[in-house]
Amino acid sequence: MELIKMKEIMTGRERVKATFRFEKTDRPPIGYDANGGIDRRLKEALGMENRSHEDFLELLGVDYRRIAAPYVGPVLFETPPGRMRDPLEGFIMRWVEHATGGYWDFCDFPLKDAPDEAFDNYPVPDPDDFDYGAAAAMARSYGGKYALHLGDPGVPDIINSNGRLMGMEDVLCHLIFDDEAPVNLMKRRAKASLEIMERTLEACKGEIDFIWLGEDLGTQIAPMISLELYRETIKPIHKAFVDLASSYGLPVMVHTCGSSSWVYEDFIEIGVKGVDTLQPEAVNMSPEYLLEHFGGRLNMRGCISTAGPLAYGTDEDVRENCNRVLGMMEQYGGYHFAPTHAIQDNSPVENVFAMYQTVYDRYR
């Protein structure tokens, strides 16, 4: 396979910044997220198996790069035998095999049914224990070629990230009943993330182009929590991050899985400029619905379903789907071409290739 690209007249940085302003670009910004198995097979098909991941992203034409300050502090958590543990958040994972590969699945939930003392004493990374100079050096190394962002779909991600520690049922109950110790931990973790982001922004002043946040707020068929609960507990945390970004003149994109459009008016109210993932199968998340209600007011990243033609159709089905989404999004601008979350291992390589080739063919 050989990806045939178009002649480009903009850098990734120029393209993403213009897209956030709803301006016309040579092509939409391109994003890439994939599970390990399909990522490996795609690299092999494109002859990139012995090249760096950075080389692979450049080959695809991915316009974004994430900047993060490395952690240089003490070890915060012990890892149980046969498990993987996140060094900063402490969630625990086990390897699970499936028919097309495998993945690290969350398990054990160290704060499930925990007493208040466990929440009070749970380690949170100290913002002093990060190398902000290294983040600045990383940002400068790209030379203005790509759009650089701080954060990712896991920041602050109140429900999902704390659910990995407490279990989803517990975290939702703690939020609903405003349980003091668990909610204080959620706020303490978000506050540390906010300070780390602020210090990274200051170290990388002039290099960062947008902030990427995350908050999974929906199931496939309905909101996960009420709008009232969102406004009382989570919205003030989101607003603090958006206000920080605004103080540096940067747009904010929020990753939202599932049926999440019910909260987008509140996002707009606090200054969010874009939303990410946009699973079209979920209720009120189709491109048609999103454009009718938010077209021209929010940037949109995603809408190329990882549970539709990309996984189960032919390469022609994929091209048709991608062209359909692109055609709708072109009416308003502000669109970032990307899969809905990570491309799954059950997606044929030919289909993933067709997805990315389609965007180049359309704007050639």
Is the pLDDT confidence value at 158 over 90? yes
Per the structure, the count of domains in the chain is: 1
Residue 7: inside a domain: no
**Nearest Cα to Cα of residue 3 among 50, 55, 59, 62:** 59
Residue 100, pLDDT score = 83
Residue 110: inside a domain: no
169: confidence class by pLDDT, cuts 50, 70, 90:
very high
* Residue whose entry in the numeric block shows the structure tokens 């994939």: 34
Is the pLDDT confidence value at 235 over 90? yes
Radius of gyration, CA atoms only, the chain: 20
Residue 275: inside a domain: yes
What's the CATH code of the domain at 26?
3.20.20.210
Residue 93: inside a domain: no
For 113-146, how does the pLDDT look when each residue is reduced to its tens digit (9 = 90+)?
A: 999 999 999 999 999 999 999 999 999 999 999 9
* Residue whose entry in the numeric block shows the structure tokens 């890439």: 32
* Residue whose entry in the numeric block shows the structure tokens 């391109």: 30
For 278-314, how does the pLDDT look when each residue is reduced to its tens digit (9 = 90+)?
A: 999 999 999 999 999 999 999 999 999 999 999 999 9
Domain hosting residue 341, numbered range: 12-81+115-362
Is the pLDDT confidence value at 69 over 90? yes
Residue 290: inside a domain: yes
Answer yes or no: are the C-beta atoms of 193 and 136 closer than 8 Å: no
Residue 90: inside a domain: no
- The pTM assigned to this predicted structure is 0.96
Provide the edge-to-edge strand list for the sheet that holds 101-107.
Answer: 84-85, 92-98, 101-107
Mean pLDDT (whole number) for 34-53:
96
CA-to-CA separations, 33 to 247, 301, 306, in angstroms, rounded: 29, 12, 10
Q: Record the tokens describing residue 195, joined without a space.
A: 């300070």
Mean pLDDT (whole number) for 332-349:
96
**Nearest Cα to Cα of residue 337 among 62, 130, 92, 144:** 62
99: confidence class by pLDDT, cuts 50, 70, 90:
confident
* Residue whose entry in the numeric block shows the structure tokens 């922004």: 201
Task: Provide the greatest CA pair distance for the chain.
Answer: 60
Residue 5: inside a domain: no
Residue 53: inside a domain: yes
Is the pLDDT confidence value at 247 over 90? yes
